[in-house]
A and B are shown apart, each in its own frame.
Chain A
């Protein structure tokens, strides 16, 4: 899993990073809310561990921004034991859990594991993008009024792509998130499903296109210029 740690104190950052590395996570560190926002916009994180007291703003501001941006990334706040009001505000703002300093590293690791299992904030029952609507409870997908007849795996793939619309999803990422594989089996399973999904979207007349960016991955886009804007000379839009 890929985690973002937002902590300005070098010692605490080193401690937390070491703990999370031990559990096999990749950890980026931001030392301010500004840097955290920038990283969150540029990358996708499975969870965020954020100190409340940061030099430029509060970790609570970061949570507020994430939720306002409709980002459900689970957040664990690190707070001072003398600030119960931060805990209340943090959870009310949309944080998923908290830990008071000083913390036991083993407890921190367990809390992060629990956070990753839960997957953060409650998910929306319906997702939509460019006229495509997914009913996640009934596992049904429509484009405007036309029903898309998808297999369970195709539905999961479309769900992931809609959640990350207009952003490149790599083959490795899709294998991990949609197929729950931690390694690339070397097959063309992703490409086959992408091709089938693309065909079904086209047949339904969907405005969104499923673009293949050679060497990068796939993007579900509603931008007419997406095929020429992202990686000139190195793509196909098959």
Chain B
């Protein structure tokens, strides 16, 4: 999609403003390039987070979710960013073992965002 074209609504998974900012600057090629980098790193981050939640390693869990919290909103993955921020906040408080369901929800949010973004970029 070229810059300036009206895009379909994506729902709460996606921060439309964040995507528009990227698109205005570098168009869809920039979004694709950033998404590729982002999603290349997501599996390892989720894997680290899952293992940390299972073992009660709050510091590792917070570290992995900090990266997701920082990068997800930049590319428009709003819900995933919110979930990661919540997990990081609670993990910094020492709570890790109770956070496994939230880690899974973050994974699902990222998967939904990816599908929405793919649809957006194919449109």
- The interface of chain A, by Cβ under 8 A from chain B, is 8-12, 14-15, 18-19, 51, 53, 55, 80, 82, 101-106
B73 at the interface (CB under 8 A from A): yes
Across the interface, name the chain A residue whose C-beta is closest to B86.
A82
Residue picked from A51, A105, A106, most chain B C-beta under 10 Å: A105
Asked if residues A102 and B18 are in contact (CB atoms below 8 Å), the reply is yes
Asked if residues A12 and B71 are in contact (CB atoms below 8 Å), the reply is yes
Give Cα distance in the complex from A105 to B21, angstroms. Answer: 8
Q: List 16 A-B contacts (CB under 8 A).
A: A8-B67, A10-B41, A11-B34, A11-B38, A11-B71, A11-B74, A15-B34, A53-B66, A53-B70, A80-B70, A101-B73, A102-B18, A103-B74, A105-B22, A106-B21, A106-B25
Asked if residues B33 and A14 are in contact (CB atoms below 8 Å), the reply is yes
Write out the residue numbers on chain B whose beta carbons fall within 8 Å of the beta carbon of A15.
34, 74
Give Cα distance in the complex from A10 to B38, angstroms. Answer: 8
Question: Chain B: how many interface residues by the 8 Å CB criterion?
Answer: 24
Write out the residue numbers on chain B whose beta carbons fall within 8 Å of the beta carbon of A105.
21-22, 25
Tell me, rounded to whole Å, the shortest Cβ–Cβ distance linking B12 to chain A: 16
Is chain B's interface secondary structure helix, strand, loop, or mixed overall?
A: helix
Question: A53-B66, A102-B74 provided; 14 other pairs, C-beta below 8 A?
Answer: A9-B41, A9-B71, A11-B38, A11-B75, A14-B34, A14-B37, A15-B34, A18-B30, A51-B70, A53-B70, A55-B63, A80-B70, A80-B85, A101-B73
Is chain A's interface secondary structure helix, strand, loop, or mixed overall?
A: mixed
Give Cα distance in the complex from A106 to B26, angstroms. Answer: 11
Give Cα distance in the complex from A14 to B75, angstroms. Answer: 12
Give Cα distance in the complex from A19 to B24, angstroms. Answer: 13
Q: Mark B9-37, 1 if CB is under 8 A from A, else 0.
A: 00000010010011001100010011001
Give Cα distance in the complex from A105 to B22, angstroms. Answer: 8
Write out the residue numbers on chain B whose beta carbons fall within 8 Å of the beta carbon of A9.
41, 67, 70-71
Tell me, rounded to whole Å, the shortest Cβ–Cβ distance linking A17 to chain B: 12
Write out the residue numbers on chain B whose beta carbons fall within 8 Å of the beta carbon of A51.
70
Write out the residue numbers on chain B whose beta carbons fall within 8 Å of the beta carbon of A10.
37, 40-41
Instruction: Return the 10 tightest CB-CB contacts between A and B, nearest first.
Output: A102-B73, A11-B37, A102-B74, A11-B38, A9-B71, A53-B66, A10-B37, A11-B71, A105-B25, A104-B21
